[in-house]
Amino acid sequence: MNGNQLLGPYIRTFFEDYLTCRRNMTINTIRSYRDGIKLFLGFTAKASKKPVTSLQVTDVKEAMILQFLKHLETERSNAIQTRNQRLIAVRRLFAYIAGQEPVLLDPCQRIVSIPLKRGAEPPPVRYLSQAEMTALLAAPDRTTALGQRNHALLLFLYNTGARVQEAADLKLAWLSLRPPAKVDIFGKGRKWRTCPLWNETARTLRQYIEMQRRGCGSEDTLFVNRLAAPLTRAGIENIVGRCRTQAAKTTQSLGGRDVTPHTIRHTTAMHLLQSGVEMNVIRAWLGHVSVATTDHYVNINFEMKAQALKTCEAVAGTGRPRRWIRPHADVLAWLKTL
């Protein structure tokens, strides 16, 4: 067995060197790649009847990758979008291997050239109405310390449209609460963006810091739990879920709905769009890399307006046609009769 063709060592350097050091990818992206590669290794080991430690690069054929992708869709019921994400992880792994070992270029190139499947639909955009968002913001009990923190967190998410990890990573030094208030957000793709803060948001965050984060260093995390440890993604999602349950007691439309931090992000985008904010501003506000991502909100807003227009036409069409009186030849005389 040629030790240079073992798959295991390449996978290790792919994660430890390529993704982490060379590409400087975020931990969430690395974990997504990890999950995809784990599924791929398990399927390949079973199909080739070899232990994972004995798998060689040449054991992986183009046909085997296609079988793996079919397995994801049929047996794991993965959507096309998820299936494509797994394929991207595998393709990047073999592109990396081809760059490390030219002898393996041909079999790796066959795998890298497998196309993504077309027809992937973007996940549905679920957002809240103005009344629902107001009820959610009012849900925390602000007479308690945790309620004050939860209200500040919800208001920050709504103001900035931040992703859940961006809110979890937020440090005190990234805030500027003096007019004009703003926040620097370290976002997806390790890119920074600056987002303005409303006066109410700045005031709420200032009160939260003075009461619960006084004396903390500038590099300390803003949102923490009862033990003063940074809130995790799961912790923030749990807070949003509990606030949704509380808000549903006064707003029936929230009952039974799955409201997540990303729902609030979609809500921010839709409310900005409906308020007439320019698309490029919304794109920068949310930190979208792809133009198509922001345009998706435009399509939804257009469909809403088209539906509203149809409703108006239906109402207008229920009455009798108006009989228009032909105006007098002398327009001035006719106008006097009005």
Q: What's the pLDDT tens digit per position in 225-248?
A: 999 999 999 999 999 999 999 999
Picking from 144-148, 154-158, 206-210, 310-314, which range would have the lowest pLDDT averaged per residue? 310-314
- What is the Cα–Cα distance from 117 to 66, expressed in whole angstroms? 11
- What phi and psi values does residue 197 have, to the nearest 5 degrees? -115, 135
pLDDT, average across residues 60-85: 95
- Residue at token pair 């506000």: 285
End-to-end CA gap in the chain: 99
The listed CATH number (1.10.1740, 1.10.150, 1.10.3430, 1.10.260) that belongs to domain 3-112: 1.10.150
Of the pLDDT bands very low, low, confident and very high (cuts 50, 70, 90), residue 257 is very high
* Sequence ranges of the domains in the chain: 3-112, 130-311
- What is the Cα–Cα distance from 168 to 27, expressed in whole angstroms? 13
pLDDT for 329 equals 52
Higher pLDDT, 324 or 293: 293
Which positions are catalytic? Answer: 163, 188, 262, 265, 288, 297
Alpha-carbon dihedral 121, 126, 129, 133, rounded to 10 degrees = -150
Q: Compute the mean pLDDT over every residue in the chain, rounded to the nearest whole number.
A: 87
Tokens of 320: 């009798």
Report the CATH fold assignment for 130-311: hpI Integrase; Chain A (1.10.443)
Tokens of 136: 């959610």
Give which of 214, 217, 166, 231 is closest to 194, Cα–Cα: 166
- What is the Cα–Cα distance from 15 to 9, expressed in whole angstroms? 10
**SS3 at position 259:** coil
Helix axes 145-160, 261-274, angle to 10 degrees: 50
pLDDT cut 70: percent of the chain above it:
84
Are 226 and 146 spatial neighbours (Cβ–Cβ below 8 Å)?
A: yes
